[in-house]
Amino acid sequence: MITFSARLYAVAQVGADTQGRIMDVRRMKMKVCLVGEAAVGKTSLIRRFVLDDFDDKYIQTLGTKVSKKELAFPKPTGEGPLKVDMTIWDIMGQKGFRELLKEAYFYGAKGILAVCDVTRRTTLDDLDDWIEGVYSVTGKIPIQFLANKWDLRDRAEFGEAEIQQVTRAYDSPFSVTSAKTGENVESGFESLAARILKERPAKTAQDE
């Protein structure tokens, strides 16, 4: 026969276990910025990552657009899952606009997705200026290079060897991506998030 005190103890234990599971989940806010010239596919990459969708009609980004997605990672300390609330900032791909609003746009960014279009060599060459613009506000932060429109690689003006020459200067990885097919899009975003977490282990247990 189960006594009242035993039932009360069991309820208390269930409550404690539930609270423990809730407390084991940590959340971290993470702002990342996409940079690159106009029409490299920044907005399409975000749309594919957040909504798993693609629209081949080009719509120029006016000003900035902010999207959000929640990611889950194992916590480095092993205390439970880590939820990452990623805010993804998309900026109009015009240098004049970048200079005008770079303080507001880049401030607080924890990582950069540097996007080029494999069918236009100049978009790769111009990434240096975009990255230095971010660094002037944030200092050095993790970068993930995305060589987009890989579905059009038969028209590519550069290949992986040229991409590596650029990324090596920043000691950063790259992915060839296609917003149209979804190839490597999710893994590219998640790779950047994982590197940010690795470089900021002391801050992952608290909201920022």
Residue range(s) defining the domain that contains residue 69: 25-203
Q: Residue 155 is part of a domain; what is its CATH number?
A: 3.40.50.300
pLDDT of residue 35: 94
Chain Cα centroid distance, residue 11? 42
Q: How many other C-beta atoms are found inside a 10 Å radius of the C-beta of residue 31?
A: 19
pLDDT tens digits, 6-59: 444 343 444 444 444 444 568 899 999 999 999 999 999 999 999 998 876 555
- Is residue 114, in this structure, part of any structural domain at all? yes
Q: Predicted confidence band at 199 (pLDDT cuts at 50, 70, 90)?
A: confident
pLDDT tens digits, 115-164: 999 999 999 999 999 999 999 999 999 999 999 999 999 999 999 999 99
* Number of domains within the chain: 1
Residues 6+ apart with CB under 8 A from 178: 148, 149, 150, 151, 184, 185
- Is residue 148, in this structure, part of any structural domain at all? yes
Q: Predicted confidence band at 190 (pLDDT cuts at 50, 70, 90)?
A: very high
- Is residue 170, in this structure, part of any structural domain at all? yes
- Is residue 85, in this structure, part of any structural domain at all? yes
DSSP annotation of 204: T
Residues 6+ apart with CB under 8 A from 146: 45, 113, 114, 115, 116, 174, 175, 177, 184, 188
- Is residue 13, in this structure, part of any structural domain at all? no
